[in-house]
A and B are shown apart, each in its own frame.
Chain A
Amino acid sequence: SQELEQSPQSLIVQEGKNLTINCTSSKTLYGLYWYKQKYGEGLIFLMMLQKGGEEKSHEKITAKLDEKKQQSSLHITASQPSHAGIYLCGAANTGNQFYFGTGTSLTVIP
């Protein structure tokens, strides 16, 4: 089976602090997707990483995919309350089915 493990499961940080969320796969990934979900809502696409060693940034969020394409990290710099939500990593298998990690719940305390 294909699994993505995320850590930590939940995170509580003070506003302004940096944080990192990790996503690990037992198999080499074709592509790794990061999504954010506000509580009770759908998933919003953040970034997609395809190449080993790739790094992308959007505003204060940076995602990296390791050289082996089995591990990704999402880093938030100077966190704000607007960053709060659930972060999920996802991947697609050869059958074009998307599967996801169980998510990391982020709370940012003002």
Chain B
Amino acid sequence: DVKVTQSSRYLVKRTGEKVFLECVQDMDHENMFWYRQDPGLGLRLIYFSYDVKMKEKGDIPEGYSVSREKKERFSLILESASTNQTSMYLCASSRGQFTAFFGQGTRLTVV
């Protein structure tokens, strides 16, 4: 079975903190994604990576950065967390345009 694992289910951080969200997949997928999900707005793509050290901005990259040093790991970084970044964060991986598989999600609260 494909497994996409996010490092935390729940996180509470203070405004201004640097926050790292980690995602690991075990299927050798070249594509990895970070989304945030908010009520009424659905899933919005933050960043996308199609290869090691490669990244592409999604629809809402402001306030975020990413790192992909190894194929299986894709990290989302909030350089200086703000309350409007309180959200559910979802990581996914895929091969080409084939099915994307998701992690269990990280609910981040910034206080």
Interface residues of chain A, those whose CB is within 8 Å of chain B, are 30-31, 33, 35, 40-45, 48, 88, 90, 92, 95-103
Contacts and interface: CB of A to CB of B under 8 A. Distances in A.
Contact of B96 (A45, A96, A100): A96
25 contacts: A33-B99, A35-B102, A40-B105, A41-B104, A41-B105, A42-B90, A42-B102, A42-B104, A42-B105, A43-B90, A48-B99, A92-B97, A92-B100, A96-B48, A96-B97, A97-B45, A97-B48, A97-B56, A98-B45, A98-B92, A99-B43, A99-B45, A100-B42, A100-B43, A101-B42
Nearest to B92: A98
Contacts of B48: 96-97
B74 to A, nearest CB: 14
Contacts of A42: 4, 6, 90, 102-105
A102 B35 CA distance: 13
B36 to A, nearest CB: 12
Given A35-B102, A42-B103, A97 B33 contact: yes
Interface string B5-31: 010000000000000000000000001
B50 interface: yes
Contacts of A48: 98-99
B103 to A, nearest CB: 5
B58 A97 contact: yes
Contacts of B102: 35, 42-45
Most chain-A CB neighbours within 10 Å: which of B56, B90, B102, B105?
B102
Contacts of A45: 99-102
Most chain-B CB neighbours within 10 Å: which of A35, A42, A97, A103?
A42
Given A90-B100, A96-B97, 10 more contacts: A33-B100, A42-B103, A44-B102, A45-B102, A48-B99, A92-B94, A97-B45, A97-B58, A98-B92, A99-B43
A48 B99 CA distance: 7
A30 to B, nearest CB: 6
